[in-house]
Structure 1
Amino acid sequence: MTVERFRIHVSDNILDDLKERLHRVRWPDQLEGSGWERGTDLYELQSLVSYWRDQYDWRAQEAELNRFSQYRCTIDGIDVHFVHERGKGPNPIPIILTHGWPDSYLRYHKIISLLTDPESHGGRPEDAFDVIVPSLPGFGFSGRPTQPGFNNLTVSEMWVKLMTSVLGYSRFVAAGGDIGSGVTRNLAANHPELLYGIHLTDVGIIRDLLSAHNEDALTEEERQYKISASRWIAQEGGYMSLQSTKPQTLAYGLSDSPAGLAGWILEKFRAWSDCKGNLLQKFSEDDLLTAIMIYWVTNTIGSSTRIYYENSHTLPPLGRIEVPAGIAIFPADIALPPKSWIMRNLNVTRWSEMPSGGHFTAMEEPERMADDIRAFCRPFRAENNQ
């Protein structure tokens, strides 16, 4: 498999077209005093779009993203974009970090140097990693699947080829959140011999608990989870229902309107992060817009949502996973999982409850996230020396 160096360079035509669209947004109205209650607040979105149109500098963000060593290769007929940064320390452990939706590989950009070069950030050089951060197929700078059936399991099999056949690693650590958690767990379930361990920040919505009929078989924590997760799906899960059933219909509007795309994504960053209702408390305007821009300049919002359909229609269930697992729970994340269920279904060797942070873990709390990954992986260092 041929690996080619990759640099992001968005054409001027795409940026000029974007600016024109931002100048002629047709805004809806909003009920007085409704704020974010019924969806993305009109006035906050207008403020962000004004900044996007008049001050945001994509070229500066593009140069920042291009500081990382990026590559593309073709796996199973699909181009895969990935960051591959070598560790600066003795015998680094390789780790693959898988993102979710509505983020991108950008989810991990703040922790790459913390993991590759811990000594420069007050850590120990022997805690260094080789860091691989791919873009999921259908997201950002990776190619798009053209056939149905492309789910978390399919991606995990591609990651096996990326890590072993393309990059030449015989064993590695896998980590992820959101869709990345599902991909990572499928990796562990089907290829335990390749993994030192897995590090997760969530386990997704636990469907078997939501559909459980025998309440007496559940722990009190699991019964509470069933109530709270069902309430969350009813109140906040509209996006998931739509993306799991009719993603193509949604794609037309989000692919054509940058303001519509920003409204769809912004709501999730506010609702799922530990920002306490103030997005700019956790993210800068540049952070938010760069996350949105990766979808816009690649026109991948439609292809990114399809994995929800495939996961809900074609993904087989997982059993207990025996690979050592590190779990980092961030308090403002969505549908926090019951510890009793995780302990039954995963071989947990490290359990951490963070004092702050939400769903976008490594974007919100990069130092805490990096520290937890380092601590979880220390027992594997001796194995990596063999």
Structure 2
Amino acid sequence: MAEDSGYQHFPTPPTIPISKFIVNIPEKDLQSLKDQLRTSKLGPRTYENTGADGKYGVTYEWMSQAKDYWESTFDWRGVESTINSIPNFIADIPIPSASTSQDNSFRIHFAALFSQRKDAIPLMCIHGWPGSFLEFLGILSALQNKYSPVDLPYHIIIPSLPGYAFSDTPPLDRDWRLEDSANLLHKLMCGLGFEAGYALQGGDIGSYTARIMAGTFDSCKALHLNFCPIPCPDEKVHGRLPIQEWEKRGLERADDFVKYGTAYAVEHSTRASTIGFVLSSSPLALLAWIGEKFLTWTDETPSLDQILESVTLYWLTETFPRAMYPYRQETVYPPPQARTEDDYRKVVSQGAQRHMPHNDPKYHCRQPLGYSWFPKEIVPIPQSWASTTGNLVWSNKHPKGGHFAAMEQPKELLADIEEFLTQVWLTGI
């Protein structure tokens, strides 16, 4: 971290312990990764993995090329240099203990750019899976290029969710839920001096966390999302909501995803332990599982370097098995009850119930809500549907972009965030 960058100075003294953080993975860990790549073998060529369309997942050709590049060419130290060009920190946040009366300390990693302006807007942007704080480096870079510390309009905070990257693992002695993560990130913002008001932005699991924060804490004054998956709102409550032609194309993509692209989520939510062991055993297994998502959930295919940055971070920090808790929460296990004759006739046709925070009345967003629509999002819902989840006052449609909007379209997403905050923050929030 450059000591004279000017972006690392807190606007007020933090009320929680915070230390500067430099990413520097031990050389032995990098060598271990290379050794495992060198000694690992790909599975045999099959009908499924030799199809050029990738219908059945990543192809043999892509895996072979990615393995060779990862082993011989990929430069993790260069990634570290980019990360460390941004101020990074570790915050120690108290959380209740399940076994004692004393609080435990939970370490949360975050990258940040702090402004010297007195009226700067505190803004937290929250990543999802299989993303990380790396998704937002493009936005941070764009802000550095556009503003100096003197005129930066935001204090922008990019945390690593609990269990991800350099943040601590959720406790082993109790169930950790999205509400726990939301509470922890709220404490981080308050500890940084932003209890009077902050804005949130989120995609994927980050959108769930941000939604819960907005529905729980009055300190959240505005919420912007680029991911808001919900089923069609009840027509008896909301009427027949309009769907534009371009939104129908998005719903076709959503339908394909729900039918044919969610096997990973079922495994995550119902067998988190098993898949955690599988993907912790081999970097190639992790590459196949995560690489597939970057190939199929994006509009334009990211560079191999971009994909390997995320996979390498996950491997070196053992993120995958530590980060499955949000998926466990999605699957609803109703209490045992007597079955009717009709119930027995539906046991095969009915899947598991799913819980999505975005259509949970408890988390209806009373604050100003913004929504950015990207055509290659995995579940790009119509703006009229998003409006049923809160006080939607701003929305925008983009001609390109997918699930990883912050990584794929950083300038466009940043422009959306800035326009939304300019509209709602300056109108008396």
Counterpart among 131, 135, 140 of residue 112 in structure 1: 140
Q: Which amino acid in 1 is paired with 2:63?
A: L
Asked if residue 309 in structure 1 is aligned to residue 324 in structure 2, the reply is no
Q: Is 2:170 the counterpart of 1:153? A: no
Match of 2:303 among 284, 291, 303: 284
* TM-score normalised by L of structure 2: 0.80
The structure-2 alpha-carbon separation of the partners of 1:243 and 1:197, relative to structure 1 and needing over 3 Å to count, comes to same
Task: Indicate whether 1:378 and 2:378 are aligned.
Answer: no
Aligned CA distance change for structure 1 residues 351 and 24 (closer, same or farther; 3 Å): same
Does 369-378 or 72-81 show the bigger shift?
72-81
Residue number among 109, 120, 128 corresponding to 2:153 in the alignment = 128
Q: Which amino acid aligns with 2:373?
A: I
> Aligned runs of 1:147-226 on 2, under 5 Å?
147=172, 148-191=174-217, 193-204=218-229, 206=230, 209=232, 219=241, 221=243
Which residues of structure 2 form unaligned runs of 5+? 1-15, 96-104, 334-354
CA distance in 2, matches of 1:90, 1:365: 29
Distance 2:332 2:184 in 1: 20
Distance verdict in 2 for CA 1:380–1:89, change over 3 Å = farther
Instruction: Provide the C-alpha distance between the structure 2 equivalents of 1:184 and 1:13, rounded to a whole number of angstroms.
Output: 37
Moved more, 247-256 or 310-319: 310-319
Shift of 1:149: 3.0
2:161 aligned partner, one-letter code: L
1:341 to 377, 385, 396: 385
1:296 partnered with 2:324: no
CA RMSD for the aligned pairs? 2.8
CA distance in 2, matches of 1:227, 1:55: 39
Give secondary structure in 2 for the equivalent of 1:357: coil
Which has the larger Rg? 2
- Mean Cα displacement is larger for which, 294-303 or 312-321? 312-321
Superposed displacement of residue 383, structure 1:
6.6
Equivalent of 2:166 in 130, 134, 141: 141
Identity of aligned residues (%): 26
SS in 1 for 2:299: coil
Note if contact 1:115-1:128 (Cα within 8 Å) is conserved in structure 2.
no
Count of aligned pairs = 372
- For 1:249, the equivalent position in structure 2 comes to 274
Compute the displacement of 1:214 (Å).
7.8
The match for 1:55 is: 73
1:168–1:195: structure 2 CA closer, same or farther, 3 Å change rule? Answer: closer
User: Equivalent residue of 2:324, what SS?
Assistant: helix
State the alpha-carbon separation in 2 of the partners of residues 376 and 88 from structure 1. Answer: 22
Greater mean deviation of Cα atoms: 367-376 or 164-173: 164-173
More helix by share: 1
| Correspondence 1:34 to 2:51 | yes
Work out the CA distance in 2 between the residues paired with 1:96 and 1:178: 15
Q: Displacement, 1:63?
A: 1.5
2:9 maps to what in 1?
none
State the SS of the aligned residue for 1:109. Answer: helix
Distance, in Å, in 2 between the alignment partners of 1:133 and 1:167 is 16
**Structure 1 stretches of 5 or more lacking a match?**
none
The answer (yes or no) to whether the contact 2:115–2:152 under 8 Å persists in 1 is no
